[in-house]
Amino acid sequence: MEYLHPLIECGEILYIVFGAMILSDYLNHLTAGRVLKILKGNLFAGYFVGIVLGILPGCAGSFVAVSLYTQGIISFGALTANMVATSGDESFVILAQSPDVFLKLNGILVVVAFVAGLVVDAVFKERARLCCKLPHASFQIPSDHSPDCFPFCSPSRIKVFHLGRIVIFVVSLFVVLIFTLYLGVEETEHYILLGVAVFLLFVSLSSSDTYFVEHILKHIVAKHLWKVMLWTLGILYALQFLLPIGEEGVRGLIKGLPGVAMLFAALVGIAPLSGPHLAVFFLFREGVLPFSVFLCNSIVQDGHAMLPMFAHSLKDSLLVKAFNIAFGLVVGYLFLLFGY
């Protein structure tokens, strides 16, 4: 069963990313491109959206941010700000265990993320770019795409039930039934999965044939989703073998050495996982590590949020992570210098 865990985790991530991609496409389509125009013409609006999506507990908000970036809607700086602000699934534990620390941490992350966005966009002014040619790219706004291209319509207007539409419907119905009738909805992640399932049920039953084929099958699935699956699965299995981090080993290595602990916290933050970073939080809560080391780790780490970016651009992913490490170490050592 241990070897099946990355496969199950990959399935959950892929399902949420799929829903996030469709949601961002829906919003742009339904607003006739106005969201795209506002965000592309206003860096500060992009930072605001990126940071808000980042401080939301969990990785789902950052999955949306990655999707917005790959569509050219937010800048590279806004994406970096999102990754600085997010703490992944660890934020659920921090909120439950220490609400005061959660508020203090996120207040600092918002400021650091905003500064990071400004700096990165100043360095890479032309970095943001479209991931690929979007459906109906010859039209100026989404509402001009096609008279038959609607994100939702009456089920009676659906002429062809593609295999893909049936698969999405069956999988989403299974997720809804398994949570409502068997597992129950007990954790925040369950609510996210259930929400995505309900949304995808709606998509499978209401998208017009043209929208479903052109936007969902030919663009999101054929050009993006399979890459996200391969990268995510490969990284999760590699990390299962390469990064067996034990909390006791960490404690013995860094206790009483905050300067060394800072470097180790940044190194742990590189792993695109939810789990190892909790060791840093628990050691901070027990007084073994200072707040500055915990803050450094929180800035550098982003849970699973970077996994979809690897499928879009390995170079951009590494650049974001490099900036996160730099900001994490600078801010962490500054706080350590002032006794935090």
- Helices 99-123 and 43-55 pack at an angle, to 10 degrees, of 150
Task: Name the residue with tokens 């073994």.
Answer: 288
Across 23-32, 132-141, 252-261, 306-315, least confident range: 132-141
Q: How far apart are CA 30 and CA 42, in angstroms?
A: 20
Q: How far apart are CA 43 and CA 121, in angstroms?
A: 9
Smallest CA-to-CA distance from 299 within 273, 272, 332 is with: 332
Alpha helices in the chain (DSSP H): 5-30, 34-40, 43-55, 60-70, 76-85, 90-97, 99-123, 163-177, 188-206, 209-211, 226-242, 247-254, 258-270, 276-285, 291-300, 307-312, 314-337
pTM for the predicted model, two decimal places: 0.64
Q: In terms of residues, how long is the chain?
A: 340
> Is pLDDT of 71 > 80?
no
Higher pLDDT, 115 or 74: 115
Smallest CA-to-CA distance from 153 within 210, 112, 80 is with: 210
Residue 97 to residues 51, 102, 278, 281, Cα–Cα distance (Å): 23, 9, 11, 10
Identity of the highest mean pLDDT range in 130-139, 275-284, 319-328: 319-328
- pLDDT, position 2: 66
Structural domain boundaries of the chain?
2-131+208-337, 158-207
Tell me the pLDDT tens digit for each residue of 116-165.
Answer: 988 888 887 655 554 555 555 433 444 444 545 555 555 555 666 678 88
- Going by the DSSP 8-state scheme, the letter that residue 133 receives in this structure is P
Q: What is the mean pLDDT of residues 41-66?
A: 79
Tell me the pLDDT tens digit for each residue of 164-211.
Answer: 888 888 888 988 888 777 766 666 667 778 888 898 888 888 887 777
Q: How far apart are CA 315 and CA 123, in angstroms?
A: 15
> Is pLDDT of 106 > 80?
yes
Tell me the pLDDT tens digit for each residue of 211-248.
Answer: 788 778 887 787 767 776 776 677 677 756 655 544 45
Q: What is the mean pLDDT of residues 36-41?
A: 65
